[in-house]
Amino acid sequence: MALAASLIKDITRRARWAETARPVPSPCRNVCRMDAASGYCEGCLRTIEEIAGWSGMADDDKRGVWAQLPQRAAWLAE
């Protein structure tokens, strides 16, 4: 899965904002396709488990997912 530089920048910016946002926003970008090779959504870089469980997660857990997204983006860009 090749990531555009603009997607990486946007995910990183939004992850910083999510650190303090109330309520914690969803990372969904309305590009809902799972990449078979990585196991991540092509739009938001979450796993299917993270997507399915999002609405039931505590805010700290949601922030934990957000914190991982820039790292996933960097890894996928390599």
The 10 Å Cβ neighbour count of residue 13 is 11
| pLDDT tens, residue by residue, 23-33 | 999 999 999 99
Sorting pLDDT into bands at 50, 70 and 90, what band is 4?
Answer: confident
For residue 43 the two structure tokens come to 């739009």
* Residue 58, pLDDT score: 98
| pLDDT tens, residue by residue, 20-76 | 999 999 999 999 999 999 999 999 999 999 999 999 999 999 999 999 999 999 998
Distance (Å, rounded) from C-alpha 17 to C-alpha 33? 24
